[in-house]
Structure 1
């Protein structure tokens, strides 16, 4: 009897000891401490300090209790509720945890970027065997150029790299209309630039409304001013860098696609072709063409076409003839402006999300489809199910651009990668990876010399690559918290305002523009 009693008490004492150790661990965790680190020495504590100072803001080891989230700042556990409760700020959901993590990471990246420590060009520009500190100085590069050790093309490439890697925020410009009764914009949706990069065309969503508006802006020939303090905030109504010229009245249709157009007898004016779909109700899709008159500060409608009850994904203008193409549901339509005659081209039963006409061959049209096909058609042979040429990527094509040498074509897909295709070999010759995307139509842009490719991902980070070497030149964090409703649109050019040497990056984000110029 005594032995059983002692055995019983020994087992209970053992159970109490284990229970006490669990309580100590739980208590220690609530106080921001862990007993598993107590037996380690100074080396472990230094490693822990180093790990906490890294870029990662959330450690999975802190969430060792299923269904609970450990807050390092409040030193306490919180129960994770379904994402349907995210509208209530007092509840902790997986979305709020992720947003908090991303915001902390963004602030850290912005701080590093402003301090100039985010330069990604670490290797030598011309001699890979040298160290970066031996070759990145402009004086040494000029000396090598004078001695004939560096060619003109290499020196031009160096200057492009130098300008991209030294970008810093210069001025912030809030979008405002050119008139007092202009609508108040909420966030940018689309942005286009002219070939000379002296004008911008932006599509904005309006505050407290489902409507949108189109705005034409001029870009100054002096993007960077030494007399202007960096970080200054201006408006497009008074700014000398980006100035508002014409703003349309609210458009109560969703602008699904947009492109520049050169209508007959209107080549000297800024003409825009866009498609509008009614987001609410049962209304047909209509193609509009507007002339932006800078003198009278007004817009004139010069063309309308009813496409019926169909969804439109993309549009493109034919520069050789008065025709334009429409990427509709699972097919492509070519429409003559004067006669309104329509030709249909098959796209493998997939939606053409991006389109482009050849500038050398007037009979070629390129379609990037949701299924990942790049389909090339001869517009002289409509109705054929078989295309002239096909290239395929693993994911859907969201943006398509032809280079000046049309043997090469660039396309990005929903995976975030930008591919450079050689049409002669029908294979990918270069890849530019790093953008984050899942299913959004994220555009990318090229500069005038086609030496730098620029794009923004769904995480709102903007990246710049060297086209020839595939080198990542710059990674710009978003200047404001990321939002799934509006992603930034960035353009890098070397001749802004049609002025050679006026290089910089213009980013449209929320209701403003951020201008980045070289720091030296």
Structure 2
């Protein structure tokens, strides 16, 4: 009886082995067929084998080797990074082509001009659509950033760049090799001749603290100062610094009279108020607190909240402050309402699913744009407290990333954590263009951008400035000098 069982077991094992061999033989042929037609790993997703990955170029499977001391470990993260870099290189090559895909089917400047002449297209729609076509065809060129002191190219990595309200100057924060950050202001030259040149005005202002938030401030005149939130380190507390922009100018030898620094706990965000009823006031968003201060009289109002305030912006028509929190809550504060306890001073409360990283009011201040750490960008109706439009494609998981709005051209821009810069139509939310970073993607190399139809002032040039690593790139409209239609704002 015991021998019979062992004989039956051997027969059963032979049958199982034969079935296995047949399965491998059949699937080997299928794998080869899939491998010949596959363009990337997603093409072979139906043939994934646990513990293996398919190499399209070599047309074979390789074993994944997780968590050991092999001299050449192969992990999913490395494979994904390799695929992302190949995708970026391919998009970068396509982006260098002089002719790019139109953002909308059949849309080009000649067709738009023809429709306008026959009266089928209103003037405001024509300007907006022309800007879409121009922005989708922007060409990249590298700019050499020279210092006013030694006229040598910039060698320090850009951390962030922020343009003033007229796009005449760009404030920069650069990492320095010995640690910490330095500040500077970029001025534009040669705009009237149809070319763009950048000159950096440095100053001996360094900090060993991280800059969390930056905005331009109008103390003496429009954009006269720069407001910065600095994170505290060790025994050094955090602070909010108000630096005069004239510090970064060689033409003004006199030192300005107003240089303020307000000691404060870790601040996540800041905003400057332009409404006359709260003139020379600014706000800072902290952990579970909001502080509104008068830069001259030093009066302070404090509001207690239940989360970290990561994003802020003041309205212009009324002294109302909009806030976005780590909890996903957004609300406004009317500075004219005083004395209410608890959360009674909150108004226009609404939520998104993740931490809010940026809020931007439109010119019609009944509408607010908000971005969060799930990569969602939504346009909210403040009165109805509900979203009316969503802009899809943005990528964010945990980074503190801003969004940029240019209403004159009807465009919305955002740089994702994947280091791609995306442009949407502000009116209907269509993704118009995705711009790859000129450098390989990395957590500390996310590009910082400034977009304007008048870079350099009233007679400036339209386009996009992108700062990544220690390089500065200009994406130009390539506008015909005789064609001035793209410089007319769409109303």
- TM-based fold match above 0.5: yes
Alignment-derived partner of residue 340 in structure 1: 298
Does the CA-based 8 Å contact 1:79-1:92 persist in structure 2?
A: yes
Alignment-derived partner of residue 455 in structure 1: 414
Alignment-derived partner of residue 253 in structure 1: 209
For 1:333 and 1:368, locate their aligned partners in 2 and report how far apart those are by CA, in whole Å: 14
Alignment of 1:341-490 (within 5 A): 341-347=299-305, 349-361=306-318, 363-382=319-338, 384=340, 385-386=343-344, 387-447=346-406, 449=408, 451-490=410-449
Q: Pick from 221, 239, 242: which aligns with 1:286? A: 239
Alignment of 1:49-448 (within 5 A): 49-50=36-37, 52-53=38-39, 56=41, 59-60=44-45, 64-66=49-51, 68-73=52-57, 77-82=62-67, 90-115=72-97, 119=101, 121-123=103-105, 132=106, 136-169=107-140, 171-173=141-143, 175=145, 177-180=147-150, 186-207=156-177, 209-220=178-189, 222=191, 240-263=196-219, 266-267=220-221, 270-279=224-233, 281-293=234-246, 294-296=249-251, 302-308=258-264, 310-319=265-274, 320=276, 321-347=279-305, 349-361=306-318, 363-382=319-338, 384=340, 385-386=343-344, 387-447=346-406
Alignment-derived partner of residue 487 in structure 2: none
Under a length normalisation based on structure 2, what TM-score does the superposition of the two structures give? 0.84
C-alpha distance 6-436 of structure 1, shift in aligned 2 (>3 A): closer
C-alpha distance 357-122 of structure 1, shift in aligned 2 (>3 A): closer
C-alpha distance 375-14 of structure 1, shift in aligned 2 (>3 A): closer
Does the CA-based 8 Å contact 2:323-2:330 persist in structure 1?
A: yes
For 1:99 and 1:418, locate their aligned partners in 2 and report how far apart those are by CA, in whole Å: 26
C-alpha distance 311-513 of structure 1, shift in aligned 2 (>3 A): same
For 1:373 and 1:12, locate their aligned partners in 2 and report how far apart those are by CA, in whole Å: 62
Alignment-derived partner of residue 477 in structure 2: 518
For 2:94 and 2:152, locate their aligned partners in 1 and report how far apart those are by CA, in whole Å: 38
Does the CA-based 8 Å contact 2:285-2:309 persist in structure 1?
A: yes
For 2:190 and 2:66, locate their aligned partners in 1 and report how far apart those are by CA, in whole Å: 53
Alignment-derived partner of residue 234 in structure 1: none
Does the CA-based 8 Å contact 1:224-1:517 persist in structure 2?
A: no
1:115 positional shift: 3.4
Aligned CA-pair RMSD:
3.4
Does the CA-based 8 Å contact 2:35-2:56 persist in structure 1?
A: no
Secondary structure of 1:328's match?
strand
For 1:504 and 1:421, locate their aligned partners in 2 and report how far apart those are by CA, in whole Å: 27
Does the CA-based 8 Å contact 1:284-1:306 persist in structure 2?
A: no
Deviations 1:90-141 (A, max 9, x none): 4323322221121111112222333367635233xxxxxxxx2xxx343343
Secondary structure of 2:79's match?
helix
Q: How many residues align?
A: 467
* Structure 1 segments unaligned to the other structure (5+ residues): 26-33, 124-131, 227-239
Q: Which one is further off, 147-156 or 297-306? A: 297-306
Secondary structure of 1:356's match?
strand
C-alpha distance 39-393 of structure 1, shift in aligned 2 (>3 A): closer
Under a length normalisation based on structure 1, what TM-score does the superposition of the two structures give? 0.79
Deviations 1:61-108 (A, max 9, x none): 665142x445455656344334x98xx984323322221121111112
1:334 positional shift: 0.8
